[in-house]
Structure 1
Amino acid sequence: MNLVTPPEHPFAQFVRILGKGKRGARNLSREEARDAMGMLLDGKVEESQLGAFLMLLRHKEESAEEMAGFTEAVRARLQTPAIAVDLDWPSYAGKKRHLPWFLLAAKALANSGVRILLHGGGAHTAGRLYSEQLLETLDIRLCRDWQQVEKALDQQQLAFIPLGDWMPPLQHMIDLRNILGLRSPIHSLARILNPLNARCGLQSIFHPGYQAVHREASQLLGDTAVVIKGEGGEIEINPDASSHLYGTANGVNWDEEWPALAAMRHVKPASLIPEHLLACWRGEASDAYGQLAIISTMALALRGLGEPRDTAINRAEALWASRHQVART
């Protein structure tokens, strides 16, 4: 019997690089990461290879070069029109301790004329409150393509588009979370993509040590970005704690330490009631923690657009107070 050894799958080399053992494994180069992600996005990989690749990356922890290469592969496959955007605002974590006050920060900034693109990856983890679940309540436009995004930005300066509508393969990878049992590096990657090349990309990375890696990846890509350890993993300053800002602009990195705004820690709410957000937006209710979170998060966004911290905080307070005065554009 003449036995023929089957040829190795082209993607096997990337799994081998990551999984060859403690002494043999290494990071992917930026070019290798670009090629590997390209094959994943083009559907040229077996499902078993996809799972192995994502979990090996998760175990190893992705490098800045890998993240830059992955991002380049995604951007090369995006067909987006030229739409002016000030802030790219990814929302992939969901909230479980506090309400998503950052959504009110984004609405107030949009009402002042700041053009903001929100994007997210669905309710992939039980017990969390996701942005997608609040869009209708807060009158944030849900868009299904880039033409709808452009229209929403022109009309409201704020738009939300689900990841699955502009990069379905990445959404599929995120959806594997409940099969693989762990979040994959795609949750981190989605935060750095900045699909419309906004003036500044805001990023929230919860796990310590990853913030500097994300900043380095954005620097490699030539992007302007601010990375924080946001409350619950979302782009939201926790006013009860100090926050470190990892920034990069024009290829130059900067760091700032923002002190806590609250003199004492606030009591965590017993439950998350979305209607409370709307009541606070309308001025029908107040929330001491929420207002500080909103103002400091607005200041973070303005800092990303180039304003100094003190100026940004003062302007954020004024913009929140005048949030119902919609800017004329």
Structure 2
Amino acid sequence: MSLAEYVRILGRGPGRSRSLTRGEAQESMRLILSGHAAPEAIGALLMLLRMKGETAAEIAGFADSAAAVSPALPAIDLDWPSYAAGRTRGQPWFLLSAKLVAQAGHRVLLHGWNGGDPKVRAGLADAGIGFAKSVDETAHLLDRDGIAYLPLEYLHPRLFRLLNLRDVLGLRSCINTVCRMLNPARAGASVQGVFHPSYRLLQAEAAELRGWSSLSVIKGAGGEFERNPAKELAVFGLRDGRVWDATLPALRRETLRLAEASDRSLPDLWAGASTTGFEATLVTATAALALDTLGHRDSDVLANDLWTHRRSRPAA
């Protein structure tokens, strides 16, 4: 079948159109990534899906095919996608949370693209997290530091081009969600942030279809996996391969948007003495949820201990 057949399924009109099955989604993404699909058909398919609203089966099918042609990566423990645009956030404090998880002995792979916003990538060096441009560099950083950042343009150039069709179409497409669901190193656990709350359950259901074991999805700062300690938090995902959800209480009394938090730098916070300030609580609370996703009991105690002793540990 050509991609036009799948466009027809989605666009026949009221009473005749339907969602794609997982198998149809797999085949349509395979056609798109093969380079044999007409660009007009690609745009039509993506925008019809946006208008209809993606299903878990469609997202799982697209991610299946995208993952099938991604490079083989070293084994990791935690997948940490970063695909938010960043316009509503301040400092990328979550990078320090990821570093804490790595210092607990887990291998953490961050991957992503944040549009034209430089905050996350500028923050990598500040957080002491290495920037990889190949599989070999990723393996080296994981062996050396337990953590690495692999940009989407090097990880999966074809998916990167699809993601950037937003500049042509003027609208976000389901490719943003597919990137979050890629899990390129086939980790047993993943943490994800979304901007729109409705995607939390969608991604949990897609992960269940893909056979994942553990996942936590939150509405995070600017769409990243980052917990605001001043707000109650709804968490969706998987535990032991089954859809799961929980509500976590606020940890601080301040009513504070993360973009309004202090302008301290990541190195200043890491090197400072504070263990109880707003930003420190944000870092440890985010790390605790990631550690819980990895199966740690008393993850909040572990995260606080890691933070308290961080300065005695070698920098990446």
Where 1:88 maps in the other structure, the secondary structure is strand
- Separation in structure 2 between the aligned mates of residue 115 and residue 76 of structure 1, nearest angstrom: 22
Distance 1:90 1:177, change over 3 A: same
2:283 corresponds to 1:291 = no
Distance 1:316 1:212, change over 3 A: same
Q: 2:200 maps to what in 1?
A: 211
Q: 2:180 maps to what in 1?
A: 191
- Separation in structure 1 between the aligned mates of residue 261 and residue 299 of structure 2, nearest angstrom: 31
Identity of aligned residues (%): 37
Q: 1:39 maps to what in 2?
A: 31
Write out per-residue CA displacement over residues 220-276 of structure 1, whole angstroms, 9 at most, x where no aligned residue: 111021111112100011111111121313332222110111112136555985x61
Which is further off, 147-156 or 107-116?
A: 107-116
5 Å-filtered alignment, 1:85-124, equals 85-95=76-86, 96-124=88-116
- Separation in structure 2 between the aligned mates of residue 227 and residue 208 of structure 1, nearest angstrom: 9
2:243 corresponds to 1:241 = no
Shift of 1:202: 0.9
Shift of 1:97: 3.0
Considering only CA atoms, is the larger Rg found in Structure 1 or Structure 2?
1
Where 1:262 maps in the other structure, the secondary structure is coil
Shift of 1:86: 1.1
Letter in 2 for 1:80: A
- Separation in structure 2 between the aligned mates of residue 272 and residue 164 of structure 1, nearest angstrom: 32
- Separation in structure 2 between the aligned mates of residue 188 and residue 257 of structure 1, nearest angstrom: 23
Write out per-residue CA displacement over residues 278-323 of structure 1, whole angstroms, 9 at most, x where no aligned residue: 2111217888321121111001101101124xx1111111111112
Which is further off, 92-101 or 257-266?
A: 92-101
5 Å-filtered alignment, 1:228-307, equals 228-266=218-256, 269=259, 273=263, 276-283=265-272, 288-307=277-296
TM-score normalised to the size of structure 1? 0.89
Matched-pair contact (CA < 8 Å) for 1:101–1:277: yes
Matched-pair contact (CA < 8 Å) for 1:120–1:132: no
Matched-pair contact (CA < 8 Å) for 1:173–1:184: no
Where 1:150 maps in the other structure, the secondary structure is helix
Q: 2:17 maps to what in 1?
A: 25
Distance 1:248 1:285, change over 3 A: closer
- Separation in structure 1 between the aligned mates of residue 49 and residue 63 of structure 2, nearest angstrom: 15
2:311 corresponds to 1:320 = no
Distance 1:102 1:270, change over 3 A: closer
TM-score normalised to the size of structure 2? 0.92
- Separation in structure 2 between the aligned mates of residue 73 and residue 39 of structure 1, nearest angstrom: 9
Where 2:197 maps in the other structure, the secondary structure is coil
- Separation in structure 2 between the aligned mates of residue 267 and residue 71 of structure 1, nearest angstrom: 33
Matched-pair contact (CA < 8 Å) for 1:75–1:193: yes
Write out per-residue CA displacement over residues 105-155 of structure 1, whole angstroms, 9 at most, x where no aligned residue: 11122223221000012424xxx4542232233321111111111110010
5 Å-filtered alignment, 1:105-184, equals 105-124=97-116, 128-184=117-173
Gaps of 5+ in 1: 1-8
Match of 1:74 among 62, 66, 70: 66
Which is further off, 130-139 or 191-200?
A: 130-139
Shift of 1:324: 2.9
- Separation in structure 1 between the aligned mates of residue 80 and residue 180 of structure 2, nearest angstrom: 8
Write out per-residue CA displacement over residues 166-200 of structure 1, whole angstroms, 9 at most, x where no aligned residue: 21111111112122111111111111111101120
- Separation in structure 2 between the aligned mates of residue 280 and residue 210 of structure 1, nearest angstrom: 32
Q: 1:64 maps to what in 2?
A: 56
- Separation in structure 1 between the aligned mates of residue 262 and residue 53 of structure 2, nearest angstrom: 32
Q: Tell me the number of residue pairs that the alignment of Structure 1 and Structure 2 aligns.
A: 313
Shift of 1:27: 0.6
Shift of 1:325: 3.5
Letter in 1 for 2:199: Y
Distance 1:262 1:177, change over 3 A: same
Q: 1:6 maps to what in 2?
A: none
